[in-house]
Amino acid sequence: MISSSPIYRHTVHMTRVAVIQMVSGDNFEKNLEEASRLIHQAASQHAEFVLLPEYFSIISDNEQDKVKLCEPFGSGPLQKFLSSQSKAHHIWLMGGTIPLQSEDFDRVYNSCLLYNPEGNVSARYEKAHLFDVNVNDQQNESYNESNTIKAGDKVVTATTPFAQIGMSICYDLRFPELYRKMLEENINLITVPSAFTYSTGKRHWETLLKARAVENLCYVMAANQGGKNTKSRTTWGHSMIISPWGDILASIEEGPGIAIADLDFMEQAKLRKSFPALKHRKFL
C-alpha cells in the first residue's frame, strides 16, 4: 500500500522521502526479505531518503532474541544488509534500529544508523529513553526495555545534502526537550523509527508527532511497525510524514507498505522566517 501527497510535486529544490512500515516477526531472514522489497519499492518511486522502522529485523516474544543478533559496530549481517541496500539503490537509508554491542555483556544498544548513497555510515544514534512502563495492568501489558537494552546518552544530528536531521527512536518522542536540544544544530527534519504499541499508539501517536513538528517547525518522518507482530505484541502502524505546519503529507494505516512525500525545505525556511516562533523562546 502506498500513500503520497498530491500537493507536493517533485521539483529541483524538493527532496522525495519515504517511510517504510513493516510487521516484523521472529523470522530474521523473512524480515530482511520484506525490508529489501519495500526499500526497492521506495527507490523505484525515486525516493532519495528512506526510513525503516524500529526493530525491522526482528520482533520476538523472547527479548533475548535481539541480544543474540547483536553486532559489533562496523561489521555483521545487518550492517552489511543496510550498506548494500543504500549503495545498490544509491539512496540515503536510515536503518530503523539494529542491536549493536554495548559495554554490558547482557544488554545491547538499540542503534539507528544512517547510510549515505555510497554505503557508508554517516551518523549513529543510540536510543536514549527506554520503554519501561505498565501500559495496561488489567491485560498485563508491560515492557522493560532496560532489561536487554543499554540507554544511549548523546543527542545526535546528521548532516545531509538535503537536510539537517534530528535522530530519535520511538519512546524518545515523548520527551520534547530532546528535540529542543537538537535545534542548537539547526535541524529541519526529525526522524522517528518506531514500534509504538497499539494501545498507546491509538491515543498518542499522531498527537505527539504533530506536536513535535509544529513546536519545532520541522518536517517529521515516522516509520512504525504496524500489525500483529507476535502472539503478545501488536503495533499501531499509521506511519506518516508531517509538514512543519502539522499537515499529514503521506501516511499508511496498517500492514506493510510505504508512504512517500516531497519535502520543500525552501518553503520551510520561508515559514520559519514569516512565523519566527523559534526566535521567541524565552526559557532556554
Catalytic residues: 54, 127, 170
Which residue's entry shows cell 505498565?
134
Q: Are 15 and 162 in contact (CB under 8 A)?
A: yes
Q: What are phi and psi of 75, to 5 degrees?
A: -155, 160
Cβ-based burial of 49 (10 A; exposed 0-12, middle 13-18, buried ≥19): buried
Who contacts 138 (Cβ-Cβ below 8 Å, separation ≥6)? none
To which H or E segment does residue 119 belong?
none
To which H or E segment does residue 37 belong?
helix 28-44
Cβ-based burial of 186 (10 A; exposed 0-12, middle 13-18, buried ≥19): exposed
The string of DSSP letters for 51-104 reads EPPTTTT---SSTHHHHHT-B-TT-SHHHHHHHHHHHHHT-EEE---EEEE-SS
